[in-house]
Each structure stands twice: as structure tokens, then as C-alpha cells.
Amino acid sequence: MRSAFGALVVIGALAASPLAAQKQETWNGVISDSNCNGKHAGDEHAGKKMTDADCSIACVKKGAKYVFVSDGKVFKLANQSSKQIAAHAGQRVELTGTMSGDTITAKTMKASK
């Protein structure tokens, strides 16, 4: 009986390990697009001058993906269809979510200074 209980404890601990790796974190950075990676060139849209937000939205409409740029690093965003991400395109945000590899699943975000 003890060995069965011990086995259950070990299995439970191993099952909980992936959950522990998925703890929520908070980062500061910019929502951008995978074409520009935070560096929006003024002439890339047929010479039209655009804001960073308009550029990100235009690039995503042409097939780019939303990304999060923080401290010079570019992270993929898992939840591309999030209206929250689209609403903050081109903006500096405080993003809270979980990271797996180089991909962040955003839970919440708010504009930051």
C-alpha cells in the first residue's frame, strides 16, 4: 500500500512540473509585427508615412504576425487573434502572460509609459 501511495506522489509531482514552468510573468515592451520587429521604416508602405500602430496593422493584414519586442529581443505571440493585442499594436505595453521557448501567450496587457 505504501509503495502505491509513493508512486502516486511521484506521478503527481511529475505532472505538476510542467505547470510550474508555465508561471505568469510581466514584461515591458512594444507590440509590433514580424516584418518590422519594432523598426518601422517610414517608406515601406508605398512611401506613405504611417504611425507604428498603422504600420503594424498593415503588415499583419499582409500576412505578418504580431510580435512583442522587449529589451531588443523579439518574441512570438501565441494568441494572434486576440483583439487585445490588435488594440495595442504599435504601442508600449506592460504584458502579463506565460512564456514557452520564444513564444509568449499573452493574458493581459495595458499601456505603459
Q: What is the pLDDT of residues 76-107, one digit of tens each?
A: 999 999 999 999 999 999 999 999 999 999 99
> At CB < 8 A and 24+ separation, what contacts does 82-89 make?
82/106, 84/108, 84/109, 85/31, 85/109, 86/57, 86/60, 88/31, 89/31, 89/32, 89/33, 89/52, 89/53, 89/56, 89/57, 89/60
Domain count, the chain: 1
The answer to whether residue 6 sits within a structural domain is no
Task: Give the model confidence (pLDDT) of 2-47 as tens digits.
Answer: 555 444 444 555 555 455 557 999 999 999 999 888 776 666 666 7
Q: Is residue 2 part of a domain?
A: no
Q: Is residue 60 part of a domain?
A: yes
Residue 69 has pLDDT above 80, yes or no: yes
Confidence (pLDDT) at 46: 64
Domain assignment of residue 3, yes or no = no
pTM value?
Answer: 0.75
Cα distance between residue 3 and residue 79, in whole Å: 43
Q: Is residue 19 part of a domain?
A: no
Residue 17 belongs to a domain: no
Range of the domain at 98: 24-111
Q: Is residue 62 part of a domain?
A: yes
